[in-house]
Structure 1
Amino acid sequence: MTERKYKGYLLDLDGTVYRGKEVIPEAASFVAALKEAGMPYLYVTNNSSLTPEQLAERLQKMGIKASAEHFFSSSMAVAETIKKIEENNGSKGNGTVLAIGEEGLYTALREAGYHIVDKAPASYVVIGIDRAFTYEKMKQATLAIYGGAYFLSTNCDRAVPTEIGLVPGNGALTASIAYATKKEPHYVGKPEEAIISLALDRLGLKPDEALLIGDNLETDIAAGEKSGVDTLLVYTGFSQAEDVERSSIKPTYTAQNLLEWKV
């Protein structure tokens, strides 16, 4: 069903390549075809919980060859965003970060040179998916934001697909803190343009040279629209055909699964 040729691909993970711990078979075949064709690609994911090395290991266990350089996560994007904020403010490297999240977020922030704290006060509050989220964590984030901390979130995903169904995403956690503080965060991951622009820079491609593939209208496809990148929505995860009919967000292409798309 390929309508035109692209020079590279940006691939979502959750709901596009796998669901929870289960690989989507058609996606595995598609990635193998990309490799065989020598096509540049990058996994651009709102998953903030894992490091690139852990993400690569996860795919390898599912039978998909991968290495850390194939991944660009919302955790990596948020660390780069804080760097830009500090450079613009003339305070490069001086900020402390109250981070709510998991290893992927902590690693990205530490590698960028930031000191992570778990109690207010802080210069920044960053929210990523945290499956050990507690009232105490929400309280400390709220105190820090009321104390003047800059509020960021890795992504606004309402829910994420797993092998048992849709479960709460980082957007649900972030919303609780936004409600408590009456502050909207600076979202960095999809559907924001920033993460796509940074990913394209890594591939050395212009927006009109790449195709972004994902399963979620609200994040993946919206990110493509904001970034001027063509999109392919696959019906293997969050959004389905009836969602496209109701939505103002429209993908460039749709497919039941990735085997319908020829590289």
Structure 2
Amino acid sequence: MRKQYSGFLLDLDGTMYRGKDPIPEAVTFVKSLQSLKIPFVFVTNNSTASPEEVTERLQNMGIPCEAGNVLTSSVAAAAFMSASPVKQSAYVIGESGLKEALLSHGIKEEEDTPGFVAVGLDRQVTYEKLAKASQAVQAGAVFISTNGDAVIPTENGFLPGNGAITSVITIASGKQPMLIGKPEKVMIDQAVQLLGIPRKKIVLVGDNYDTDILAGIRAGIDTIHVDTGVTAADELLQKNIPPTYSIPSLAHWQLL
């Protein structure tokens, strides 16, 4: 028997949309959440876009969203860093989404003796940036990476993701980063706090077992796998810990 949940954490790519195309069942589902006043937060490993930019993209697809409904790995990383006793400065590899998030949390950019090295996807990354980041980590800066995604899917196939960039610094410095995004629990724990609902009444919805579902499992919340993206339903049989539920699409989930 399925539980009734009071709050939802929602993945984006493969769950809400595929590339530039919204998934109709998902659009209808979020509209139902909104009409029933059931709170939800979109959780995304995307570190390049701000919550406002994510919101605009979703709204253009007809998906109800406000900036307060979005938690990106950049915002989660900045929140984690700002709560740390470490010097509030960072050498940053990343794009505007990460830089804006750090600035809004009072973390300034610094090259010489930063408290952190913060790494997000940077499509203009250079050898010099990687070298400076590695040197800062070796000198004692706390190594933070927004997510470990090795690749990102694009219209031109799979391209290097933030995990690939991060791995260069890991190998050069000999230090492992603190990972913030899915499948780690840091961002999910923050999203649970945003909802302000007991963990047992929250469920995470996602298409990718190795990021979304595993993040929910590690964070101790129920999960719903939707067969609209990366992980096919039959692949779940090979996983040691299955999702709480698996459905073909969000059209198969009854809210009441």
Deviation at 1:244, TM superposition (A): 1.7
Aligned residue for 1:138? 130
What secondary structure, in the 3-state scheme, does the structure 2 residue paired with 1:131 have?
Answer: coil
Structure 1 letter corresponding to 2:55: A
List runs of 5+ in structure 2 lacking aligned partners: none
Aligned residue for 1:14? 13
Tell me how far apart the structure 2 counterparts of residues 84 and 234 of structure 1 sit (CA, whole Å). Answer: 34
Paired residues of 2:82 and 2:107 also in contact (CA < 8 A): no
Structure 2 letter corresponding to 1:128: G
Aligned residue for 2:82? 83
Paired residues of 2:202 and 2:222 also in contact (CA < 8 A): yes
Structure 1, 154-163 or 69-78: larger mean CA deviation: 154-163
Tell me how far apart the structure 2 counterparts of residues 36 and 75 of structure 1 sit (CA, whole Å). Answer: 29
- Is it true that 1:232 corresponds to 2:232 in the alignment? no
User: Which of residues 231, 239, 251 in structure 2 aligns to 1:247?
Assistant: 239
- Is it true that 1:170 corresponds to 2:162 in the alignment? yes
For residues 19-39 of structure 1, what are the alpha-carbon distances to aligned partners after superposition, in whole Å with 9 as ceiling and x for unaligned?
A: 332222221111111112221
Aligned residue for 2:108? 115
Deviation at 1:139, TM superposition (A): 1.4
Structure 1, 201-210 or 236-245: larger mean CA deviation: 236-245
Structure 1, 168-177 or 212-221: larger mean CA deviation: 168-177
Aligned residue for 1:34? 33
Aligned residue for 2:42? 43
List runs of 5+ in structure 1 lacking aligned partners: none
Structure 2 letter corresponding to 1:184: Q
Tell me how far apart the structure 2 counterparts of residues 210 and 18 of structure 1 sit (CA, whole Å). Answer: 22
Q: Give RMSD over aligned pairs.
A: 1.8
Tell me how far apart the structure 1 counterparts of residues 69 and 140 of structure 2 sit (CA, whole Å). Answer: 36
TM-score, normalising length from structure 1?
0.90
What secondary structure, in the 3-state scheme, does the structure 2 residue paired with 1:63 have?
Answer: coil
Tell me how far apart the structure 1 counterparts of residues 186 and 243 of structure 2 sit (CA, whole Å). Answer: 19
Structure 1 residues 250, 124: closer, same or farther in 2, change over 3 A? same
Structure 2 letter corresponding to 1:185: P
Report % sequence identity. Answer: 43
Paired residues of 2:73 and 2:181 also in contact (CA < 8 A): yes
For residues 174-232 of structure 1, what are the alpha-carbon distances to aligned partners after superposition, in whole Å with 9 as ceiling and x for unaligned?
A: 12221222211001111222211211111111111011001111221111111110001
Structure 1 residues 173, 131: closer, same or farther in 2, change over 3 A? same
For residues 108-154 of structure 1, what are the alpha-carbon distances to aligned partners after superposition, in whole Å with 9 as ceiling and x for unaligned?
A: 1000111113x454221111112222222211211111121110111
TM-score, normalising length from structure 2?
0.92
Structure 1 residues 22, 134: closer, same or farther in 2, change over 3 A? farther
